[in-house]
Amino acid sequence: MNPISHPARSPVYRIGSTTVQKIWETDLNGMAFGQLLPGLDDRSRQQHPSWFPDGTHDGKGHAFMSVHSWLVHHNGQVILVDAGAGNDKRRPQQKALDSLSNPFLDRLRAAGVAPEDVDVVLITHIHSDHVGWNTRLEDGRWVPTFPNAHIILSDLEYGYGLALTAGDDAAIQSVRERAGLGEPVRTPVSGTFADSIMPLASANIRQVSVDGSEVLPGIRFLPTPGHSIDHASIELVSDGDIALFPGDVFHHPVEVFDPDLVSMFCEFPDASRLSRRWLLDHAATTRSTIFSSHFPGSSVGRVTRVADGFAWHAV
């Protein structure tokens, strides 16, 4: 089974009067399902083939995934949802993301947007594959890629990244206590905050509480912690239509069908399960269009209720 190819220009989706378009960066193919989702039963692909849609696996036990951002034109603003992995970022712990050199900005320009045109970058969480293009390497220094953009992100995520980068144990514990998720099983990849958040001018960073309040007209940060300490799913409403950008609440469609699965990348497993189940119920209830962070192909779909839980339908 071959991965789905990427068209030169991605489709444009309409949510009311808002448009959404995927800006693809790279694929993450070849990770064994047992590595990505350690709790997944090896027999699941044979017992539940619908959980593994065509184009999301190789038929031999390996997942196909994508890294991309979402380009949104909403209320007269140019918005990016998440900022991918970025080029030239040293990620020795993540070989698939280490020192990339991808024409991401050329793809953005092909969609009609230059970096200086971006007004806002919305960050679901501060992980290496969601904030990398906030900065680019210029003459040996990290500089903002989107010089006119405001970066909107969780105040708790920001404080956690700052404390981890500084190695401040007291501050780290304080943030964890505030989050109330217990002790993590892992922490964000080192270096990410230092090269993709700290070089941004403080005036261009807007820290918000992830409490369901609007951060922009029609846009809310919904609390879905667990994958990271204060992970946000982003909801956008336009003329009564609803889009959901779930970040890393899901990595693969199988997690929609079996939401108790936890990825190897999740920092607080129990919280991630609760968030996944809550978001699935919310998505099905609101009939939202979901713009996923890592599903391959269109990466777009909807969630419906079925007798024993939920199902994913790509569009």
In tens, the pLDDT along 187-202 reads: 999 999 999 999 999 9
Contact 114, 107 (CB under 8 A): no
Contact 66, 294 (CB under 8 A): yes
194/218 Cα distance (integer angstroms): 31
Residue 306 lies in a domain: yes
- What are the beta bridge partners of residue 312? 303
pTM score: 0.97
What burial class does residue 2 get, using C-beta atoms within 10 Å of its C-beta: 0-12 exposed, 13-18 middle, 19+ buried?
Answer: exposed
Residue 131 lies in a domain: yes
- What are the beta bridge partners of residue 241? 238
In tens, the pLDDT along 8-42 reads: 678 999 999 999 999 999 999 989 999 999 999 98
Q: Provide the number of structural domains found in the chain.
A: 1
Residue 7 lies in a domain: no
**Displacement of CA 136 from its chain's centroid (Å):** 19
Domain with residue 303: its CATH number is 3.60.15.10
Contact 154, 221 (CB under 8 A): yes
- What are the beta bridge partners of residue 12? 21
Residue 77 lies in a domain: yes
Percentage of residues of the chain with pLDDT beyond 90: 95
Q: Which domain holds residue 122?
A: 15-314
